[in-house]
Amino acid sequence: MQMVQGTLDDLGTPLSDVTFVVVDLETTGGSPSECGITEIGAVKVRAGEVLGEFQTFVNPGQPIPAFISVLTGITDAMVRHAPRVEPALVAFLEFAAGSVLVAHNAGFDVSFLKAACARAEHDWPRFPVVDTVHLARQLVTRDEAPNHRLGSLAVLFGATTTPDHRALHDARATVDVLHGLIARVGSLGVHSLEELKAYSAKVPAATRRKRHLADGLPEAPGVYLFKDGQGRVLYVGTSVSIRTRVRSYFTASEKRRRMAEMVRIAESVTPIVCATPLEAEVRELRLIKEHKPRYNRQSRHPERAWWVKLTVEPFPRLSIVRDVADDDTRYIGPFASRGSAADAVAAVHEVLPLRQCLERLSATKPRSACALADMGRCGAPCTGAQSVDDYAGVVAEAVALLAGDATSAVSTWRDRMDHLAEQERFEDAGIARDRMLSLVRGASRAQRLDPLSRTAELIAARRSETGGWEVMCIRYGRLAGSSLSPRGADPMPYVEALRASAEVVPTPLPPATSATPEESERILRWLDAPGVRVVDIDGAWTCPVGGATGVRHALEPVEASKRATPGFRSAG
């Protein structure tokens, strides 16, 4: 494994580099839809230094209530010749551009600014916002201050300006309060804007106390395992920055209830640094399969896959099985559930007269026909009406559908869909659509996995974000190893070293690979990604022209549009 150094972006934006604009408004009342702004005051600060101030009266276009004038000292005469809200707003937005807005009870001030933007038909810039009153509720206890009003906090933090309900004075006081609060969260390990915003949100104290579990974790791509006090794995995840991702579980950005429960139980986090993101994804899948953590909902049982095969007998039929056997017949899949496999079988039966009875038929001992033969949906090989050679023609069409050209079957299916639509049998059309999609998805998956399962070794590479090359060694559909060549280095020595050290992988039974279906699918997606180059291959990388993958890409947009149309709903 080669460790990759995290970028500064992974660490977040240091608070010393953030430009804050601390703003305060005075208004004619409490409703932004009915009341107006009378004064805007703001202070721009960065790294503890004041960069500038902004103050303007605003003509609200309505009388100022007497009790507001008594509270703020702002009278109608003071704002009579002041600019209206539109030019005042534009000037403020220019002053605050590119900053983080800060306000005490920010919801009030921001709601008035947004309402003013809407009336002026000006787009709101979507500033990041920090609310000092909300942050104070997390950090200031009742024995320190009687409440969390600006005046009380100004006294606590020794503000140089006394707030008096004038916008600029209150903004100056809020600056001192902000700096006092930042000093407190700094001692708790909050050093970036992202951490500050997360800390200011509501997070249970029990969850916040678990933040120490992220201490010492690497700022590198890889996998992390949450464990309980007995060392049992609770959850496995992956990230481009292990430390940053783990810390997010202890903030308000994590809203999943089961994750909050997991964090309460967790006592440790184990990191596994990976050379590349694909290696991290694959390791995550393998660890989930190994430990089956109770808080991972997906990928816990990759062995629960289903396949559809043509049976090996004089009159083959379709059968749903759990594994690929060494019987030299056609398989499609894997399917995630038996139900989707059954849908694929039903789709084949709708377009081809394959027999559906479960008995093994004899070519020399006929028996009575079933209802499907009477309906013309089967050639009745059971009665001797169809010979082995005649039936072989139907089987050949099934082989072409499962492993090669699916266009003929899809044409038949389209005709059936048109017929059902003309009869306004939309429920039946939805069932037919779902069945055909299950078929083409299963066939597409098999056709894509088949060359991967037959390839003894595939070396592929793509440029990494750090400037070097991500190099993968894939053997029979399994990630046998990965490496990262540094920027400016010749990647070929790394390729040869990877080839020599990669895992020895046994030969599978195609189209099954030597990995779980989900791992092979992840590898296929990586190979299909832009910029990936095949360095060397021991095998043949092909897919049938006119195969199921092209049909799948054509049908899935149709499915999406049909699902959005009343009447075309999936049955069940």
The pTM (predicted TM-score) of the whole model is 0.62
pLDDT of res. 561: 47
Q: Is the pLDDT of residue 516 over 50?
A: yes
pLDDT tens digits, 109-128: 999 999 999 998 889 998 99
The average confidence (pLDDT) of the chain is 86
Give the torsion sign (CA, 352, 358, 364, 369): negative
pLDDT of res. 267: 94
Spatial neighbors of 96 by CB under 8 A, at least 6 apart, are 21, 23, 42, 44, 54, 125, 127
12 is written with which tokens? 């977040």
Phi/psi at 222 (5° precision)? 160, -155
Secondary element (H or E) of residue 505: none
Q: Is the pLDDT of residue 8 over 50?
A: no
pLDDT tens digits, 177-220: 999 999 988 877 788 887 787 666 556 666 777 888 988 899 88
d(CA 236, CA 197): 26
Min mean pLDDT across 142-156, 190-204, 558-572 is at 558-572
Q: What is the mean pLDDT of residues 472-497?
A: 94
360-363 long-range contacts, CB within 8 A, separation 24+: 360/313, 361/313, 361/314, 361/315, 362/314, 363/314, 363/315, 363/387, 363/388
What is the SS3 assignment for 74-95?
A: CCHHHHCCCCEHHHHHHHHHHH
Q: Is the pLDDT of residue 572 over 70?
A: no
In what order do the strands lie in the sheet containing 318-321? 318-321, 306-310, 331-335
* Torsion (CA) 503, 504, 510, 513 in degrees, nearest 10: -20
Spatial neighbors of 277 by CB under 8 A, at least 6 apart, are 221, 238, 240, 470
Could you tell me which residue, 7 or 361, shows the higher pLDDT? 361
